[in-house]
């Protein structure tokens, strides 16, 4: 109902999420409230090196950050379609993989 009401008012259904990053010596820990698929973590490490870790499900839970090809699978897997509706919001778009990666790289640059 809340999502539908926002849509009817012309408001965005985008959900902001907190990204945090902490450096301890040579290690960088970056965290989101999403459950990340491994490719997103591997892409992050490819950019930041082996001493950078991307952590999932910290300070909240917004569901899965699925890979883009999962949005074209039939039927759509639970990570794309079922979980968001169970949590009470509309699914992310297939751009979530790249959007999350951009956000965590930007935040990890700041520490």
Give the pLDDT confidence of 14-73 residue by residue, as tens digits: 778 899 999 999 999 999 999 999 999 999 999 999 999 999 999 889 999 999 999 999
Q: With bands split at pLDDT 50, 70 and 90, how would you rate the model's confidence at 97?
A: very high
Burial of 40 (0-12, 13-18, 19+ CB in 10 A): buried
Q: Is the pLDDT of residue 2 over 80?
A: no
Q: What pLDDT does residue 17 have?
A: 84
Give yes or no for a contact between 27 and 52, defined as CB atoms under 8 angstroms apart.
yes
């Amino acid at each position: 109902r809340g999502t539908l009401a926002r849509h009817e008012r012309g408001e965005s259904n985008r959900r902001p999420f907190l990204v945090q990053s902490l450096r301890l010596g040579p290690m960088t820990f970056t965290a989101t409230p999403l459950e990340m698929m491994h490719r997103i973590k591997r892409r992050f490490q490819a950019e930041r090196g082996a001493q950078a870790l991307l952590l999932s499900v910290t300070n909240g839970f917004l569901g899965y950050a699925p890979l883009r090809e999962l949005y074209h699978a039939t039927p759509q897997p639970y990570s794309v379609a079922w979980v968001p509706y169970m949590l009470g919001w509309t699914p992310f778009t297939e751009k979530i993989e790249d959007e999350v990666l951009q956000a965590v790289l930007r935040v990890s640059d700041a520490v």
